[in-house]
Amino acid sequence: MQPNTPQQSAPIYPWWYGGAGGVFACIITHPLDLAKVRLQTASLPKPSLLLMLKNILQTEGIFGLYSGLSASILRQCTYTTARFGCYDYIKEAWIPKSEINNTFYLLPCSMLSGAVGGLVGNPADIVNIRMQNDTQLDVSRRRNYKHALDGIYKITKNEGIKKLFTGLTPNLVRGVLMTASQVVTYDVFKNSLVTNFNFDPVKKTTHFTASLFAGLVATTICSPADVIKTRIMNAHQHHESAVKVLIDSVKNEGPAFLFRGWLPSFVRLGPNTILIFLAVEQLREWKLGMPTQ
């Protein structure tokens, strides 16, 4: 397959739009992401989402809701920027214009992009999970990272650079599943709303509806990989494989553990997905960073 010619291609948007949308969304939804991570690592019986948020407020104050924010932002600057940037580039450069909404073409494009994002974002993801869960640990076991870069430095110094890629396998799987279920679902739903239900492609209601469905699908598909990834990255003991964590967790907690924290995941990922795509669509409308005609 040859790359599309400039005459055939859709407008080439800047590669950083997805990352910018991710940073915007994570700043707003960070407290929900924090609650999700803590629910996934909490001992049984697990508290509800509201109780977890209440406990954070009571014990850590309002600023406790933003524990690890710098790591979340770094994660968006790496993971989200890479996967959205790769997806848009491959889609715009290699998929024929007549097939731009064909799932058969979009899925492999999104899966490759998700794997790239998972690899690039793994170090920030580890720091993010550790910082968000730090106050839940005994004082003697806390890492006390000052910010995301301090976390990466201390992990590299004390545990070796290899530790930055702990949990890479479930993170790659999650990156593939997330990107395939999120961006492809958004593109497919948006196209369906426009072609089958006469939605206006430039209206915010169209973007909102398509992204809401994308968030629902992404949360359900990614939940098992997300739970396993969180447990591996937060562990103090020597690295365990994703398969061993899966087997042990199913044995001790039952298959339902794979969807542990689904509600807070959706409560976070739903608005997060909506905000990302609304921001990206707004940047496209403004043509920010694009050459003037």
10-residue stretch averages of pLDDT, the chain, 293 residues long: 47 91 95 87 81 92 94 97 95 89 94 97 95 89 95 96 92 93 95 96 96 94 84 70 80 79 82 96 93 71
pTM of the model as a whole: 0.84
Start-to-end CA distance of the chain, whole Å, equals: 29
pLDDT value, residue 249 = 79
pLDDT value, residue 175 = 93
pLDDT value, residue 239 = 62
pLDDT value, residue 236 = 67
Residues in CB range of 189: below 8 A, 6 or more apart: 209, 210, 213, 214
Give per-residue burial for 149-172: e unless 16+ CB within 10 Å, then b: ebbbebbeeeeeeeebebbbbbbb
Report whether 128 contacts 68 (CB < 8 A): yes
What class does CATH assign to 17-286? mainly alpha
Residues in CB range of 280: below 8 A, 6 or more apart: 17, 18, 20, 21, 84
Secondary structure letter of residue 211 according to DSSP: H
In the chain, beta strands by DSSP E: none
pLDDT value, residue 6 = 43
- Please state the domain extents for the chain: 17-286
pLDDT value, residue 7 = 43
